[in-house]
């Protein structure tokens, strides 16, 4: 368990954060710029001293006001910054070996060779940082942090300084890191796609405080997240298993008690995937629509109704465990007389689905 209780006053900005997250896994700190994400991980790392609070990782107390305050070098925390911060005078190999020397007596997470292979660094070992792309530099920085054998890995917007193409190249390596090693990771981002792909637990920050937290599926349905992302991006994150593949690249995915068809780049029967289904592209009906492919139709019951400022309603529907969202206009909601517990059907278009990512 990663348990964080921290308070810090920095001029007019006050941080007061409390959350618990299961380990191992990826805890995503998500929020708008200036909400306190980097301040929080600097406090966890020991680069800033809290005014009060406690930080515990898997039973090891790193900080407790008045009782314990481990120096940064004794916390066994790996920190990857936005700008990589590699030593310019050292080769990639030299940077990686530096991480190894910081490991001291802690048990190895993996061998040098395993980490080089996992992050695709073998062809880069002789190069200097100035000879690397932005994505390559970040992979080296992650490798250096892993080789220090951390009990906790902090990634502060590691993809923020690289373009979208390079970001798409690095994200699969981060997925491998999450799935291969049992190291708790705190991942700072303001890009929801990164959270969707990587996180197992989300802490949503707003003005220095936690506005909501929980697993990715529950946070994806929260009003706080919809406010941050905007109404057009509101949607539910769900996981399912591919039951069939119909070329070219269309997969039938079981979601609860139903099946939907999605575009899938890496489609394989039995593979579990995580997707976001946007509310604006999910049509709600109180009778089963006729003439539609069954793969696009889900049956469920209304679990919650959330009125929006525009007068429309976000309708949360339980489809046999997973929950999806549909947006109903004020007129449509009145016409259908929607109520919690009501049986409904959802028509999910392929345009509603975002992502095709391995489930964590």
* CATH tag for 2-214 (out of 3.40.50.9100, 3.40.50.2030, 3.40.50.300, 3.90.1170.50): 3.40.50.300
Does residue 27 come out as left (phi exceeding 0), alpha (psi in the -120 to 50 range) or beta? beta
Q: What tokens appear for 163 in the block?
A: 């373009």
CATH 3.40.50.300 location in the chain: 2-214
In the structure, what pLDDT confidence band is assigned to residue 126 with cuts at 50, 70 and 90? very high
Using an 8 Å Cβ cutoff, are 250 and 264 in contact?
yes
Ramachandran assignment for 228, one of left (phi > 0), alpha (psi -120 to 50 degrees), beta (any other): alpha
List pLDDT tens digits, range 54-65.
999 999 999 998
**154-176 average pLDDT score:** 88
What is the average pLDDT across 326-330? Answer: 91
The reported pLDDT for the residue numbered 303 is: 97
- Distance in angstroms (rounded) separating the CA atoms of residues 162 and 186: 20
pTM of the model: 0.91
Residue 294: predicted pLDDT? 54
Q: Please list the alpha-helical segments (H only) found in the chain.
A: 37-45, 92-101, 112-118, 134-147, 164-180, 192-198, 216-220, 223-229, 330-336
> Residue 4's pLDDT is what?
98
pLDDT tens digit string along 56-92? 999 999 999 889 999 998 999 999 998 889 999 999 9
Indicate the average pLDDT of the chain: 90
Domain(s) labelled CATH 2.40.50.100 in the chain stretch across: 235-358
pLDDT of 182 reads: 85
Say which CATH class 235-358 falls into: mainly beta
Is the pLDDT at 107 greater than 70, yes or no?
Answer: no
Place of tokens 């708790």: 184
State residue 112's pLDDT score.
Answer: 92
Q: Are strands 77-80 and 152-156 parallel, antiparallel or unpaired?
A: parallel
């Amino acid at each position: 368990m990663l348990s964080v209780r921290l308070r810090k006053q920095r001029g007019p900005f006050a941080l007061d954060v409390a959350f618990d997250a299961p380990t191992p896994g990826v805890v995503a700190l998500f929020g708008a710029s200036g909400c306190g994400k980097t301040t929080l991980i600097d406090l966890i790392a020991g680069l800033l001293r809290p005014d009060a609070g406690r930080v515990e990782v898997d039973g090891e107390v790193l900080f407790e006001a008045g009782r314990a305050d481990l120096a940064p070098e004794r916390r066994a925390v790996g920190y990857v910054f936005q700008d990589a911060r590699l030593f310019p005078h050292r080769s990639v190999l030299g940077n990686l070996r530096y991480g190894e020397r910081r490991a001291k007596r802690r048990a190895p997470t993996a061998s040098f060779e395993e980490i080089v292979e996992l992050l695709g660094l073998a062809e880069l070992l002789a190069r200097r940082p100035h000879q690397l792309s932005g994505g390559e530099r970040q992979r080296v920085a992650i490798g250096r942090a892993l080789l220090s054998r951390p009990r906790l890995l902090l990634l502060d917007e590691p993809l923020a300084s690289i373009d979208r193409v390079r970001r798409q190249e690095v994200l699969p390596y981060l997925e491998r890191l999450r799935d291969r090693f049992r190291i708790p990771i705190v991942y700072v981002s303001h890009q929801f796609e990164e959270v969707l792909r990587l996180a197992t637990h989300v802490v949503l920050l707003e003005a220095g405080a936690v506005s909501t937290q929980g697993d990715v599926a529950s946070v994806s349905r929260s009003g706080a997240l919809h406010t941050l992302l905007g109404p057009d991006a509101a949607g539910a994150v769900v996981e399912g298993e591919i039951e069939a593949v119909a070329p070219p690249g269309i997969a039938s995915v079981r979601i609860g008690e139903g099946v939907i068809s999605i575009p899938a780049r890496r489609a394989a029967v039995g593979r579990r995937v995580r997707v976001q289904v946007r509310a604006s592209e999910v049509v709600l009906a109180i009778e089963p629509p006729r003439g539609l492919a069954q793969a696009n139709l889900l049956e469920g019951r209304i679990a919650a109704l959330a009125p929006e400022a525009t007068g429309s309603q976000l309708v949360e529907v339980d489809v046999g465990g997973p929950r999806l969202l549909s947006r109903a206009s004020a007129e449509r909601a009145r016409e259908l007389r929607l109520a919690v517990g009501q049986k409904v059907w959802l028509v999910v278009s392929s345009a509603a689905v975002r992502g095709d990512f391995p489930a964590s």
